[in-house]
Structures are given as structure tokens and as C-alpha cells.
């Protein structure tokens, strides 16, 4: 292969990548806030005894879990303004699309953790005179969050990686800035290699934390 690598040309123009990374981090954090809070609510609703509540929520979750994230992002950016006459900023649309997608996956993680809450704890809450909302706040929520932390972290870092998809709708995230820089410098190999390493540098420590938490939980369970 007759190709001369020149990573210096990318490092000389690194500022746009830092700006793009900051946008990616903002997208990821905001989407995770939506996914963590809304996901728990969806988990409670999908476990409702009333089918009129349970079935629509179940369909919502399955839609976001069973369709590609890229389709969801494109739909939000192009279809929502046309159908509902709602025009929001590109960042807001990106957060909505990624946040709802994450909420659907987190809902399943929460649901499994909620079902694993020992019945004795709920009975103890009833014996103490706690109403249903208090039992959710003081018994179900802490236990469900604690048990599902590894899955929630895995889903969160997955959202960080999926955020690269918003580049197709001109959100100036890390991937978008990388594409622009690769075009300007004519160094796509070097540029996208560095971008991949940036994603890896952020994702790998979190994956190690997830592994540690899972091993710790197994030790405590045994």
C-alpha cells in the first residue's frame, strides 16, 4: 500500500474535534437523564394490571427497541416538524430521539429489577403504613436502581456511541466534525482512526466499571 500516514495534519486541526466531543457529551448526558427517569416510569406502567395502560406502553417500548436508532433519529428530525408543526433545535431533537430510545431499553432493565424486589420488603412497607407511592419511592426505586446499575451503565455508553448517528442530520457532534475535518484535510484514515480512539477512550473505562460491578454483585449474591 503506497500511502503515507500524516496524523500531524489532524492534530494541527484538533479544536473542532474537541468541540464535537463536547456536543457528544452533552447529548449523551441529556439523553441519559431522559432515559433514566422516563425508563423507570415506563417500567412501572408496563407492569400495570390495567391493559389499557399496559398495552400502549408495551408497544411504545417495543417500537423503540425493535427499530433502528438511525430511523428514529431521521423520523424525529424530518417527520415531527411536518406532522405536528413543531420546530425544535437540532440538539433538542437529538436528545429526544436518543432519550426515548434509551428509555425503552432502560425500562426493560428496570422491570427485571423491580420484579426481583423481594416480596417481604413490600409486605414490610405495607406493615409500616406506607402508601403505594411511598413504597415505590423508598423500597422499589432504590432496589431497582441498585440492581440494574450495570445494565443502565451499559445502555448509557451505548447511547454515547449511538450519538454519532446524529451527524447525518447535521448536529455538529464528534462524528460530524470528524467528517468535516476529513474532507478538509484529505486524511480520512487518520481522522476516523483518531475519532475511533476517542470513542474507545471514553467507553472502555465505563465498560470496566460495569464488569467490576457485575463481579461484585455476583460475590455479594454468593
Among candidate residues 157, 152, 147, 145, the one with its CA nearest the CA of residue 207? 157
Distance of CA 56 to the CA centre of its chain: 22
3 within domain boundaries? no
Question: Whole-angstrom Cα distance, residue 7 to residue 216?
Answer: 41
Quote the percentage of the chain above a pLDDT of 90. Answer: 59
pLDDT digits (tens, 9 = 90+) for 100-159: 999 999 999 999 888 888 888 888 888 888 888 888 888 888 888 888 888 999 999 999
SS3 letters for 83-135?
HHCCCCCHHHHHHHHHHHHHHHHHHHHHHHHHHCCCHHHHHHHHHCCCCHHHH
Inter-residue contact 42 to 61 (CB < 8 Å): yes
Residue 87 lies in a domain: yes
Q: Residue 111 sits in which domain range? A: 13-221
Structural domain contains residue 4: no
Q: What is the pLDDT of residue 140?
A: 87
C-alpha torsion sign, points 182, 183, 185, 189 = positive
**Around 110, how many Cα atoms within 13 Å sit in the side-chain half-sphere?**
25
Question: Is the pLDDT confidence value at 222 over 70?
Answer: no
Q: Residue 43 is part of a domain; what is its CATH number?
A: 1.10.3720.10
Give the burial string for 109-127 (b: 16+ CB within 10 Å, else e).
bbbebbeebeeeebeebee
If pLDDT is split at 50, 70 and 90, which confidence band does 214 have? confident
Top mean pLDDT of 1-5, 57-61, 215-219 is at 57-61
- How many domains are there within the chain? 1
Q: How far apart are CA 195 and CA 108, in angstroms?
A: 31
pLDDT digit string, tens, across residues 162-181: 999 999 988 999 999 999 99
* Within a domain: 75: yes
Answer whether 0.85 is exceeded by the pTM. yes
Amino acid at each position: 500500500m503506497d500511502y503515507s500516514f500524516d496524523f500531524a495534519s489532524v492534530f494541527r486541526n484538533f479544536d473542532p474535534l474537541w468541540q464535537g466531543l463536547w456536543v457528544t457529551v452533552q447529548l449523551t448526558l441529556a439523553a441519559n437523564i431522559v432515559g433514566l427517569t422516563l425508563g423507570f416510569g415506563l417500567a412501572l406502567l408496563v407492569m400495570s394490571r390495567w391493559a389499557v395502560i399496559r398495552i400502549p406502553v408495551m408497544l411504545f417500548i417495543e417500537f423503540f427497541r425493535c427499530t433502528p436508532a438511525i430511523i428514529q433519529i431521521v423520523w424525529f428530525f424530518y417527520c415531527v416538524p411536518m406532522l405536528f408543526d413543531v420546530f425544535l433545535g437540532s440538539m433538542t431533537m437529538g436528545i429526544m430521539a436518543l432519550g426515548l430510545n434509551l428509555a425503552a431499553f432502560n425500562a426493560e432493565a428496570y422491570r427485571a429489577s423491580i420484579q426481583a424486589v423481594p416480596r417481604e420488603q413490600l409486605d414490610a412497607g405495607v406493615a409500616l403504613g406506607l402508601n403505594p407511592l411511598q413504597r415505590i419511592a423508598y423500597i422499589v426505586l432504590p432496589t431497582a436502581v441498585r440492581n440494574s446499575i450495570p445494565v443502565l451503565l451499559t445502555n448509557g455508553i451505548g447511547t454515547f456511541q449511538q450519538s454519532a448517528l446524529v451527524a447525518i442530520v447535521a448536529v455538529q457532534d464528534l462524528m460530524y466534525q470528524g467528517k468535516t475535518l476529513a474532507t478538509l484535510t484529505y486524511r480520512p484514515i487518520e481522522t476516523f482512526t483518531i475519532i475511533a480512539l476517542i470513542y474507545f477512550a471514553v467507553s472502555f473505562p465505563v465498560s470496566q466499571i460495569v464488569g467490576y460491578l457485575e463481579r461484585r454483585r455476583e460475590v455479594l449474591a454468593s
